[in-house]
Amino acid sequence: MTFRKEEFLRSLKHIAGQKFTWFAIFMVSLTATAFSTRTDDHYDTVVAEEAQEMEAPVLERLSNTDTELLTADEHANTPLPATELPRALPAEQPAAEADLTAKLPRISETASAPAKANKLIRYANSLMGTPYIYGGTSLKGFDCSGFIHHVFGTFDVELERSSRMQGTQGTEVALEEVQKGDLLFFTGTNPKLREVGHVGIVISEPGEPVSFIHSSSNGGVKVSELEGYYTTRYMFAKRML
């Protein structure tokens, strides 16, 4: 009896030991599974968070780029205010030319013919004594037609360069009707050759003896009267104003 009891107890201990072993194995398995699951979940969470952190700057940069592009387009389509619009600069006139132009007297287009003639004659008289230079048209010296061309040209009255061609311009007037500013045409030094070879500007008043200013080969710019030698050379008169 005692032997069987001891054998029974050993059997129970063996069974209990086996059950404990299986139970321990089962618990260890559950623990490992749970740990593995939590580890995987934790890993996935970390990866997701890192991905979000990496995406955030990229999205922010893309957003900023879109904003900058939109801002640039808006500026491109926005009209400039009137104060910022480029304005055309006035053309500059050379200083030397501007000074020369300012010093030259001008005849107003609305001025009467006598007023124009008076201004023209005042300027012509200011050139008294300028030497005679054949072919000259400047203040350094004039020939007869060069003097006429310069004086009238100063007041924007364009005449031909030669006395012969100047004689084809303007309106012919009788000698008895000449006024200040009219032109007197003469032959050259040979009165028998009836071709225009000399010219002068009338400076006398109507009713007075006719006098004129001209550039002569004998004395340069001077005043002469229509008498004697010049009477024999006289051909006709023209009005240019």
Give me 126's structure tokens: 């200011």
pLDDT given at position 114 = 87
Strand partners, 202: 212
For residues 178 and 202, the answer to whether their CB atoms sit within 8 Å is yes
pLDDT given at position 135 = 97
Give me 205's structure tokens: 């008043």
The CA distance from 234 to 187, in Å, is 7
118 to each of 88, 107, 160, 241, how far by Cα in Å?
A: 41, 10, 22, 11
Enzyme catalytic residues: 144, 198, 214
pLDDT given at position 100 = 40
The CA distance from 132 to 142, in Å, is 5
The CA distance from 166 to 237, in Å, is 11
Q: 10-residue block means of pLDDT along the chain (241 residues)?
A: 57 52 52 44 44 47 44 43 46 42 45 88 98 97 98 96 98 97 98 97 96 97 97 98 94
Per DSSP, the three-state class of 136 is coil
Give me 233's structure tokens: 């050379």
Instruction: Express each pLDDT in 86-137 by its tens digit.
Output: 444 444 444 443 344 344 444 444 467 889 999 999 999 999 999 999 999 9
The CA distance from 137 to 11, in Å, is 153
pLDDT given at position 118 = 96
pLDDT given at position 8 = 55
pLDDT given at position 216 = 97
